[in-house]
Structure 1
């Protein structure tokens, strides 16, 4: 089947007129084109293969819509590239299980680009004295507000080889970065594949994530800070292999808070021989870690493969988190199943004992973890990511 090679301006013309040319282009198959720079007006891309030749930013008031089955490829040679939605902008990417939208890199090298970055205007808790914070994506964008308005819809989207590090530990990107994103945004059936930082990171906000796979990412599979409080999260699956840190890293910038995220059906798996980024001295090998007043309610959890001699299923890293969040009944983990001999819990420092209130940490032999369907959305190079 022949491919039709068009510039984005020609594509836009086709999309805004109902003519025989539109039907002809569909019959010829996926188009090819380029995408770059600021998106300042509504733009719709038909199914096609698009090269990202520079950073793309969807500006406030604009909506970028990308059709199912499209492939977006970042050209690594052109500097730091990401697909970013600014506050007030919208990104609509609705794929299907059979035709996901794939965002990848030209060299297929982990960390070669910045992935999808989305900004909203929902609440955050960055510190005890401020209601805003500055982003870690290299743009120094201020985020945090009071609106749960939508930043768009992402369904059946896979981001590959992202997690670009600008200055390790202070300036870095992930496969998916969500800054103060509001609860009206839809995030479903998303895959973060072989990035060099976190698979999914939330920086405050109220958005929820359903049906998510974090596979082969070298930092944490799922990570959040700034008081993220999504309430309708379910079916999270992490498979760590090669190099990886925590399955889930949970913090709230040291601010004691009375809100929390809710996540059900979680699978955290770690392949044999997987090491942490900093080697054995990094001590980032636990399945779940709570620190700096991180909290939340979690249920139906399956943990497997965390076999480092010092690893635990759940670590409470500091005394304040233990005092305010554990004994304060703000951390709840129910129906936890550990496949293997990993200890249930541990403290990050000496001088305190972890004691969950009755019913706030329960185990089960029948917990199933995430329940996900297979398909092209969860398959790379013919291999299913759901092991």
Structure 2
């Protein structure tokens, strides 16, 4: 309030008012002078409700927080720029607008950017399409399934792409020279925020936990779609756990080099590979479920070898449960590897196997290449009356055996996934 002095015949009085709930209100002001004269005025105020739906049309700079109870609409490819931090609180819903090609919507974390997505089992963060009617109120009430989109509807927006500065193994296709950085699939080369790779294997892109990515994989041209979760050159300083990918047009999770590890991951209703690794990824995927990837070229695992001279040991995929076929949906291969794939696979139980599915390679067919992939505790629930050799191309190593139920220590700890939409499905292992 601005003070008035004795004798003043005019002045300004400021009354500050803070509304706590939406609606109308009024403030009445009465002024008395020394001679007993008075006058009053009533001002009607309208307190508007805080917006709970926020459209995001600009890249993220500085430090930005997306708040619990709100829905954020991605109006395009939104990038967390180098040096910026995006904090996403529990229970937030992020929806991508429709778009294809260069206009495909996605959340992209550029090298040097940080994403802290802090969901919880009781309040996960949902990344989905604008066509999905799910709301923060649904999440708060414990209803995590889409109220209107079926669990196999895909390609409605892009996905989540995280890029880092860790080493990758790739080369110039013309000269054959080793490259330290390249452009990620799905991002036009005109956008330099799509570059990934470097020399910092301990690079930190943030902390991501309890997120569900749904209905994504927009086509960006020539049959090239965006993965549910893309990890390009992401370093070991990044923490990623409790991730669900549902109904993506392309791969569920794809690693392009880097050293990041992921624990507790679910991939369900994917139209390409469940788990895809490339460019000498050197991290670990531990405790996971893959359910029936489904296209003519889909694999439960598509594990490619180094593209350049850099290798630096194997990546590890361990403690997983795979359902290879559900009804008429099935993967082409169980495990697809190259002659030079650098992978260590262990304690994986694969069930729902169809007659024409197999592990495509257990040794190199190129005498000039050292076969780097190892198999330990890989158990196949093969159809009755068939032979294990029918589901392994080539020699069957000691680490691959037949089993109708998983042995102790083999397969995923399914209790870690009670929060997921996938776990409520009849296709879930054990349901």
TM-score between both structures, scaled by the size of structure 1: 0.80
After the TM superposition, which residues 12-31 of structure 1 pair with which residues of structure 2 at under 5 Å, given as runs? 31=52
Counterpart of 1:313 (choices 353, 359, 374) is 359
State how far apart, in whole Å, the 2-side matches of 1:212 and 1:22 are: 44
Bigger radius of gyration among the two: 2
Change (3 A) 1:363 1:22: farther
Q: 1:210 aligns with which of 260, 263, 266?
A: 263
Partner of 1:268: 322
Alignment check: 8 A CA contact 1:125 1:253 kept: yes
CA deviation string 1:213-252 (max 9, x = no partner) = 0001010000011111104x31011011654711111012
2:352 and 2:51 mapped to 1: Cα distance? 42
Mapped contact 1:100–1:376 kept (Cα < 8 A)? no
1:129 partnered with 2:177: yes
SS at 2:82 equivalent: coil
CA separation of 1:167 and 1:49: change in aligned 2, threshold 3 A: same
Q: Give the stretch that moved more between structures: 156-165 or 236-245.
A: 236-245
Distance (Å, rounded) in 2 between the aligned partners of 1:234 and 1:76? 33
Which residue number in structure 2 is paired with residue 15 of structure 1?
Answer: none
Superposition map of 1:1-387 within 5 A: 31-47=52-68, 48-76=70-98, 79-107=103-131, 108=149, 109-127=153-171, 129-131=177-179, 132-140=181-189, 141-147=194-200, 148-168=202-222, 171-231=224-284, 233-240=285-292, 243=295, 245-255=298-308, 257-275=311-329, 285-291=332-338, 293-309=340-356, 311-316=357-362, 319-320=365-366, 324-326=369-371, 330-341=372-383, 343=388, 346-347=392-393, 354=395, 361=400, 366=407, 368-373=410-415, 377-379=419-421, 383=425, 386-387=428-429
Give 1:386 deviation, angstroms. 3.8
Are 1:290 and 1:317, in contact at CA under 8 Å, matched by a contact in 2?
Answer: no
CA contact (8 A) 1:374 1:384 kept: no
Question: Could you list the per-position Cα deviations for residues 114-145 of structure 1 after superposition, in whole angstroms to 9, with x for gaps in the alignment?
Answer: 11000000000013621333321132333211
Mapped contact 2:422–2:428 kept (Cα < 8 A): no
SS in 2 for 1:315: coil
Q: Deviations over 1:44-97 (max 9, x none)?
A: 111111222222100000000011001111121584100000000001101011
| Preserved contact between residue 112 and residue 163 of structure 1 (Cα < 8 Å) | yes
Cross-structure match for 2:44: none
Q: Which runs of 5+ in 2 are unaligned?
A: 1-16, 23-48, 132-148
CA distance in 2, matches of 1:156, 1:22: 35
CA distance in 2, matches of 1:299, 1:220: 19
- More displaced, 121-130 or 197-206? 121-130
Report the Cα distance in structure 1 between the residues aligned to 2:334 and 2:20, rounded to whole angstroms. Answer: 51
Alpha carbons 1:99, 1:376 under 8 Å: kept: no
Q: How many residues align?
A: 345
TM-score (norm 2): 0.72
> Is the 1:98–1:376 Cα contact (8 Å) retained in structure 2?
no
How many Å separate the matches in 1 of 2:98 and 2:72? Answer: 14
In 1: Cα distance, 2:163 partner to 2:54 partner? 26
